[in-house]
Chains A and B, each alone.
Chain A
Amino acid sequence: MTAILESLDPRVKRMGITAENLNAFPTPPENDQFATYQVIIEPKEGKGYESAGIVHAPDAEIAFLFGKEQYSRRFTCSGMAVAATADVLASPFTENKISVYDLLEYASLEENNSAGEFYEVFHLYKRGKQHSHWGRVKAVNPEQALYEAKEAYDHSKPVYNIWLIASDNIFFADENIKQIWDTLPLKTHRDVRDYKAQDKINAYKERIKSNL
């Protein structure tokens, strides 16, 4: 088979590029769109969970596989959770020191604590930053969950946006798989500290000088 493309990249030569590839792309398939999952990471034990970004995945299991290498391949990581974007309930945004909670009218709270389900509550403390996990509340519906959160939150900082995720819809990494992050500190090849070479420059300059 003659290569259509004389690439400098031996990997590209092995890809089997065709004449069509060089000229046009065939019509893309219909419905090639995955759902997105929000990936939430705890960088270090006790530091708390923070939103990291999204991945495109067909389900939570694959979202977890993808999230792990996209959002926790450096430094340290002690935990991760994923939730379908569609399962995240978001409040409107506020700004200018006004907390979302300030806009929330009190309603009579249901006394019956045995009913309802758990919700994970995420707060945004600064526009432009990431949402962080504040805690969980039990409620019969999302509206009540917000009131419960308002009750329990100490309001030390204004909250500009709230995410609620029903605890059943968010998937945290089990304790027994957390060892997948054990070797992260060994991955020094991804770290700036592994690439110091000032002494090489100095030695080179010395060499040039002594040759003069």
Chain B
Amino acid sequence: MNQLAIKELLYKIADDQLILGHRNSEWTGVGPTLEEDIAFSSMAQDKVGQSLAFYKLLHNMGENDPDTVAFMRNAEQFHNCQLVELPSGEYDFSLIRHFLFDFAESARFRRLSESSVKDIADVANKLKGEIKYHTMHANIWIKKLGNATDESIERLQSALNYAFPYALGIFEKSPFETDLIENGVFVGEAQLQEEWLEEVQNVINQTQLILPTVTDEEIKYGGRIGKHTNHLQPLLTEMSEVFKIDPTAEW
């Protein structure tokens, strides 16, 4: 099996989680209610923790240690989808992104838990319960706010309209797609997108929101091959500001 293909798969998973966890931590201490602040912060920590688990797998495959990988690369070296790097905005956008992303992640982990690569399947299995809370949280909130006041419905709808083309970018195909599918490592992005769409649609149907129609050209691809919005590099610069004072030091 082509090691590069597996690495590419792991990098995009880990990078997605790190960047989204980082973004969501911007709400810690300033969330909409004390309890939601705590819940959202936990999920941000979970994301960063999950990324670490995947960077460790990569490290076992010969890549650099997790800190170096996470804190020393530039934007073009990151494989995350563009959705996760967008600024946190208001809570409507942060919540919609969390909903769209975590349902994709939950579907991905469900499939990865059947992977022919045992290490990957193990990690995916281990983290399943954690992700269950994330989708539960997203599900409940989207249903509440998507049926509540005119303001909340309108806010979620415009956040959804903005985020959806980026969300479809999660499923940008890997150059090794066939390889991964044929070797039973992963079911592939197309299949994943189908499963995701069904679940997302199912939640949206229970609200007064409408899933926007997006043409193929409108989908925000590029993140997986290092093409990012200009929001990613400032994020990375900020994240590594202290680390880079002395990358060889122990902090």
Is A–B contact present in the complex under a CB 8 A cutoff?
yes
The answer, yes or no, to whether B34 is at the interface (CB within 8 Å) is yes
- For B, the interface residue count at a CB cutoff of 8 angstroms equals 27
Q: For A151, list chain B residues within 8 Å (CB).
A: none
Any A CB within 8 A of the CB of B59? no
Residues of B within 8 A of A182 (CB): 126, 128-130
Are A14 and B39 in contact, with the CB atoms below 8 A? no
Q: Contact between A62 and B132 (Cβ–Cβ < 8 Å)?
A: no
Closest residue on chain B to residue A11 by CB atoms: B26
A68 within 8 A of B: yes
Secondary structure at chain A's binding surface: helix, strand, loop or mixed? helix
B66 at interface, CB cutoff 8 A? no
Contact yes or no, A69 B39, CB < 8 A:
yes
Kindly state whether residue A56 has any CB partner on chain B within 8 Å. Answer: yes
In Å, the complex CA distance between A20 and B26 comes to: 22
Q: How far is the CA of A27 from the CA of B110 in the complex (A)?
A: 48
Please tell me if B208 contacts chain A, counting CB pairs below 8 Å.
Answer: no
- Whose C-beta in chain A lies nearest to the C-beta of B40? A69
Stretch in A130-138, A141-149, A158-166, A173-181 with 4+ CB within 8 Å of B: A173-181
Cβ of A15 < 8 Å from any Cβ of B?
yes
Partner of B45, one of A34, A58, A189: A189
Contact in complex: B140, A180 (CB < 8 Å): no
Q: Which of B35, B42, B88, B144 has the most CB of A within 10 A?
A: B35
**How many CB-defined contacts (below 8 Å) exist between A and B?**
63
A56 and B39 in contact, given A179-B132, A180-B129 (Cβ under 8 angstroms): no
Given contacts A10-B238, A61-B140, A65-B39, contact A181 B129 (CB under 8 A): yes
Q: Given contacts A14-B88, A73-B42, are A62 and B129 in contact (CB under 8 A)?
A: no
- Is the Cβ of A65 less than 8 Å from the Cβ of B140? yes
Q: Are A55 and B130 in contact (CB under 8 A)?
A: no
Contact residues of A between 2 and 59, Cβ < 8 Å to B: 10-11, 14-15, 34, 55-58
Whether B140 and A179, one on each chain, are in contact in the complex, defined by CB atoms closer than 8 angstroms, is no
Roughly how many angstroms separate A183 CA and B124 CA in the complex, as a whole number?
A: 12
Which residues in chain B, 131-147, are within 8 Å of chain A measured between CB atoms? Answer: 132-133, 136-137, 140, 144
**Bound: A56/B39 CA distance, A:** 13
| B contact residues vs A (CB 8 Å cutoff) | 26, 30, 33-36, 38-39, 41-42, 45-46, 49, 87-88, 126-130, 132-133, 136-137, 140, 144, 238
Q: A66-B35, A180-B129, A182-B128 are in contact. List 8 more A-B contacts (CB 8 A).
A: A14-B88, A65-B136, A69-B35, A69-B41, A73-B42, A179-B129, A182-B130, A189-B49
- Spell out A's residues near B (CB within 8 Å): 10-11, 14-15, 34, 55-58, 61-62, 65-66, 68-70, 73, 177, 179-183, 186-187, 189
